[in-house]
Structure 1
Amino acid sequence: MALPIPERWDQFYQRKQFFTRTCPEKNGLEECKKDWYPRYVEVHQESRDVYVTFNLAPENFKVRQYFSSCFGGGLRNYTSIKPDFSLNKTHHTYRLQNLQVGTNYTCEIAADVVDAVRKTFIVVVKHSSEEPPISRFTESSSLMVLLSVGILLAATALLTFIVVYKKRLKKKMVQTKMRPEIIEQYYDKKLDEGQCVLLDRATCPPRLLICYSSNDGPAHVRVVLQLAAFLQKHMGTQVHLDLWEALSIMEEGSMGWHCRRLNECDFVLVICSQGLLQNQKQQSEDEEPLENTALAMVSMIGEELCRAKALGRDLSKYMVATFEYSQESDIPSALGLASRYTLTKDLPLLFSHLHGVALQKPGVYLQVENISESGYCKLPAGAALQLAIQEATAQFSEEEHVGIPVIS
């Protein structure tokens, strides 16, 4: 029978003491620097200043510099930290700068080494009840200054708008209504019927753009040129004609110049003739086709007339005119809404349209000197216009009898 034999308990267990290796012994000092991060972070606020306290790295890590980065309100705040180890070797406190009151910040702190682990913490900058009254007064003063500047800018903008609006309204009234100074000058109740008056050169002349077609040959172009000279010299009108502004046309191009003048001028006169809507023909195959500016201008003016008619605007800006050698059928249908004149018979009516002056009123008949159908040719410019019209009429009559089409 087996009997228990007492054991020697003092030899039954063997005890050994051992210790784990430190991080520098196991992974190396440089690797431990990367894995270390502050585990203790405390944030407190004094007035409007925010202070952060954190634990420093072990002394054998030889970390001499740290950094902190905070992001909030769309801005990032970076702070470089250099602890004073002579004061405290385990903890350090630093102040966060340039933080805005009432903004939440997400901050990070780490050792200033490559690939260091960062410790994240939250900072909320609260309004301080101990804020001195001076700062509040300063903020209120700044708001008052900004408010005053805003009111001043708004008043300036309103004043500028009123001035510009009055100028435009005055300009529109000058263009669309009868001009009082001209009416007072030319109308005199003591004038006898048929009495002539002279133009006042001091009055600002209306600007007139003349559009025409060169497809009817040099004789027709000469008539347009003489008409422009007569209008500018004896009818108180500032005329814009492409033949007089060749340099500007070379710089801007024909269409660019016409479009600019169309917007700038007070009136537009389209000279209608047989070749206005004709395509340019009988050009050699080697020549490049010329730009039909007249046809393009007719289309643009037609669109402006239709738009103005639809919006209820004034149509007096646009006029069409024919000479003795042209017919009513030469007027494009697109210009049917424009005022029509036959030259030189309607020179007084054209003057009345340009200057906004009625030719007749009760008891008075206005006759402008040397602008009647029979009186215009007494002037040198009028005689040149009459001669050019006669030559063009003879040329067109001869072409109609012979049956030769008009060549551009």
Structure 2
Amino acid sequence: MWKAALVFCYLLALGWPLWAQEDVTDAAITPQDCSMDCIRQGGPGCEYCRITQADVKGALGFKPINRFGSCIPWPCFDLLGEDPELCQHYVQAPNDVKVEFVQEANPKSDTIVVSWKPSHYGIAFLRGFQVSLQALGGSTNACQLFLFHRNLSLPASHAHKVYKSDPFPGLSLGSQYAVTVMALPVPEEWKSFYHSKIFSTRSCAEKNGLEQCKKDWYPKQIKVEQEGTAVTVTFNLAPPNLGIRSYFSLCYANGMKKYTDITPNSPKNKTHHSFQLEDLQEGTNYTCEIAANEVDAVRRTFNVQVLHIKKGGTSPLSVTPSLALLIPVCLAVVAMLIVCLAALTRRKPKLHMKKLNIKPDVITQDEESGTQGEVVALPGKRPSPPRLLMCYSSNDGPAHIRAVMQLGAFIQQHMATQVCMDLWDSLGVAGEGSMAWYCRQIQQSDFILVVCSQGLNIKSKSPKLEDETDDTEADTWLDLRPNNFSSDVAVQLVGEEVGQAKARGQDLFKYMSVIFEHSTETDIPTELRLVSHYTLTRDLPLLFSHLHNVALHRPGGYLKISNISEEGFKKLPAGAALQQAIHEAGAEMRSKKRHPVEVEEETQKRQLILAETSAI
């Protein structure tokens, strides 16, 4: 029983200092005006005193440099008296340094007050604080010195007290500063006697409001109207008190930029102005910026979509009597030929269906009720086919890379698209560097397609060879994957581009993601789920529709292209090769899950096949 009572008393003794600390209030302590005699003699009312330049000059006989304020190298030794033991103890750096903004009338500058808490290590020997403020990249702006009187000895409970500095006025808006709070005394052999904090002053808009700031102002109201190939943009003008007289607009798309100077001079409308963007290409989405013609002015982004203009038809031809007689005859002949061809083509499927025991009435009923196909022309007159950059993961083995290459070959051959891949431009990648090559392709491509797979969730690692003496296999592995790491990093770059475009409110039509049929949607990274994603080969028509901006379905018709239909693409050599490559990639992925050890041996056997495919 007495042991339990002893333990209880021991715990009670340990907890007593904590209870004592909780009783201390957190009221902030502000500096006082004190005389140097009061500080040295330790009189009442001198607990926390500000030291001015006049005090330093009176005590030492010289005035410190203005930019250092009242700070001097050894304030404790020089100002508190002749006792050397008073200033030889170690005091640790303050804690919880904070910067607070103070309201002031000057709209062009900011004022702050610094607060902190003393450390409980060496607090009994604490003699004061020295607070300095420095602009990043410049010299010290100001320094303030605060001292306790020489007879004061603070208890550990005062480590919860908050001490404050005097205001630091006249700080430039939108600038970075470093504030340092130093505990006194400062023995030469110690290092952890100060605490620094970097902060930024408020911007002009944060302090005064957007309508009072020249550099931070930007148009909030933008209206875009299209008339033919000319686009009219209307925006609100800056307030007259800012003195902004000119503006500019910058539009860019497909590597092209168009700069427009704007100088409003209309005496009628002083709140809004309209200007025209001319010579824009039809069927192109532009990203435009507008801002005041000032240094470092904030830019407002908006999008402009130039629609296709239907050109008027030619004047009707004059029909002569002979031509009027020939037209009905020609139409009749064409109608007879169409009927004959329809009868022949209709008879062959019926004979074939009789052999397969298929009831033709069911298909006939479906054909009569179905939507009729129509011929749809690709929109616009592109000077060149759309440019598509393909990115992929190199962590899924050679079968997956071969499937990606076959997909690129099929898209380029049968979907009227120019495909860019690092495996097809090894010389360019080696000349520019992989990252520079990818960055340039991302900027210049009309579309970016990311082939998603399980390997996107695997961090790239340098290939480690188990047998270092097998130089032949090592060289083969390195040659087969020359852009192993750059391709994975490129996928991350595309993800960042998508996130930034989404944050700026831009159109994400440029970006796409696809998975093969053996993959799942969980293989698509989170940031790429914001863009359109397709499953191949099932969604080949949807991919074609995205690349060429054509509708799959219209009133009374639908888009039908035999080369990219679900059954038609298999009849093409490139389509059959794509289907076989996807099947092998799926088989390799399933075998990895069942036999991960045997897969490595199978991978080495397929390295030569991948090398031949890369050469092609």
Task: State the TM-score, normalizing by the size of structure 1.
Answer: 0.52
Mapping of 1:8-27 within 5 angstroms? none
For the pair 1:351 / 2:544, whether they are aligned, the reply is yes
**Equivalent position of 2:313 in the other structure:** none
The one-letter code matched in structure 2 to 1:367 is K
Deviation at 1:195, TM superposition (A): 3.0
**C-alpha distance in 2, partners of 1:180/1:162?**
23
For the pair 1:214 / 2:387, whether they are aligned, the reply is no
Provide closer, same or farther for how the CA distance between residues 357 and 273 of structure 1 changes in structure 2, counting only shifts above 3 A: same
Provide closer, same or farther for how the CA distance between residues 395 and 177 of structure 1 changes in structure 2, counting only shifts above 3 A: farther
User: Does the 8 Å CA contact 1:196/1:368 hold for their aligned counterparts?
Assistant: no
**C-alpha distance in 1, partners of 2:283/2:558?**
28
The one-character-per-residue Cα deviations of 1:57-87 (angstroms, maximum 9, x if unpaired) are xxxxxxxxxxxxxxxxxxxxxxxxxxxxxxx
**Equivalent position of 1:326 in the other structure:** 519
The one-letter code matched in structure 2 to 1:349 is L
Mapping of 1:3-402 within 5 angstroms? 161=259, 166-167=278-279, 170=282, 172-173=284-285, 193=371, 195=373, 197=375, 203=382, 204-281=384-461, 283-284=464-465, 292-402=485-595
The one-character-per-residue Cα deviations of 1:298-336 (angstroms, maximum 9, x if unpaired) are 322222222222222110101100001212111111212
The one-character-per-residue Cα deviations of 1:339-380 (angstroms, maximum 9, x if unpaired) are 110001000000111111111122211112211112111111
Q: Secondary structure at the match of 1:329?
A: helix
The one-letter code matched in structure 2 to 1:302 is G
**C-alpha distance in 2, partners of 1:399/1:335?**
25
The one-character-per-residue Cα deviations of 1:120-163 (angstroms, maximum 9, x if unpaired) are xxxxxxxxxxxxxxxxxxxxxxxxxxxxxxxxxxxxxxxx8569
**C-alpha distance in 1, partners of 2:497/2:418?**
22
User: Which runs of no fewer than 5 residues in structure 2 stay unpaired?
Assistant: 1-257, 262-275, 287-303, 311-369, 469-473, 604-616
User: Does the 8 Å CA contact 1:209/1:241 hold for their aligned counterparts?
Assistant: yes
Identity across matched positions, percent = 48
Deviation at 1:197, TM superposition (A): 4.5
The one-letter code matched in structure 1 to 2:392 is Y
Q: Secondary structure at the match of 2:395?
A: helix
User: Does the 8 Å CA contact 1:209/1:261 hold for their aligned counterparts?
Assistant: yes
The one-letter code matched in structure 2 to 1:283 is K
Deviation at 1:240, TM superposition (A): 0.5
Provide closer, same or farther for how the CA distance between residues 352 and 168 of structure 1 changes in structure 2, counting only shifts above 3 A: same
The one-letter code matched in structure 2 to 1:304 is E
Deviation at 1:406, TM superposition (A): 7.5
Q: Secondary structure at the match of 2:399?
A: helix
Deviation at 1:405, TM superposition (A): 9.6
The one-character-per-residue Cα deviations of 1:250-282 (angstroms, maximum 9, x if unpaired) are 101111111100000000000011112312455
Deviation at 1:167, TM superposition (A): 4.8
Provide closer, same or farther for how the CA distance between residues 284 and 401 of structure 1 changes in structure 2, counting only shifts above 3 A: closer
The one-letter code matched in structure 2 to 1:284 is L
User: Does the 8 Å CA contact 2:395/2:458 hold for their aligned counterparts?
Assistant: yes
The one-letter code matched in structure 1 to 2:389 is L
**C-alpha distance in 1, partners of 2:423/2:309?**
34
The CA RMSD over aligned residues, in Å, is 3.4
Deviation at 1:199, TM superposition (A): 7.3
Deviation at 1:198, TM superposition (A): 8.2
Task: State the TM-score, normalizing by the size of structure 2.
Answer: 0.35
Greater strand proportion = 2
**C-alpha distance in 1, partners of 2:447/2:574?**
22
Q: Secondary structure at the match of 2:440?
A: helix
**C-alpha distance in 2, partners of 1:376/1:264?**
29
The one-character-per-residue Cα deviations of 1:194-216 (angstroms, maximum 9, x if unpaired) are 53758779753111000011211
User: Does the 8 Å CA contact 2:513/2:528 hold for their aligned counterparts?
Assistant: yes
For these two proteins, the number of residue pairs brought into alignment is: 239
User: Does the 8 Å CA contact 2:282/2:307 hold for their aligned counterparts?
Assistant: no
Q: Secondary structure at the match of 1:230?
A: helix
**C-alpha distance in 2, partners of 1:339/1:167?**
30
Q: Which has the larger radius of gyration?
A: 1
**Equivalent position of 2:236 in the other structure:** none
Provide closer, same or farther for how the CA distance between residues 330 and 396 of structure 1 changes in structure 2, counting only shifts above 3 A: same
The one-letter code matched in structure 1 to 2:465 is S
Q: Secondary structure at the match of 2:419?
A: strand
User: Does the 8 Å CA contact 2:434/2:483 hold for their aligned counterparts?
Assistant: no
User: Does the 8 Å CA contact 2:450/2:512 hold for their aligned counterparts?
Assistant: yes
Deviation at 1:193, TM superposition (A): 3.2
User: Which runs of no fewer than 5 residues in structure 1 stay unpaired?
Assistant: 1-159, 182-191
User: Does the 8 Å CA contact 2:460/2:488 hold for their aligned counterparts?
Assistant: no
Q: Secondary structure at the match of 2:563?
A: coil
Provide closer, same or farther for how the CA distance between residues 177 and 269 of structure 1 changes in structure 2, counting only shifts above 3 A: farther
User: Does the 8 Å CA contact 1:321/1:340 hold for their aligned counterparts?
Assistant: yes
The one-letter code matched in structure 1 to 2:388 is L
Q: Secondary structure at the match of 1:292?
A: helix
The one-letter code matched in structure 2 to 1:313 is Q
Deviation at 1:170, TM superposition (A): 4.1
Deviation at 1:338, TM superposition (A): 1.4
The one-letter code matched in structure 1 to 2:421 is L
The one-letter code matched in structure 1 to 2:396 is D
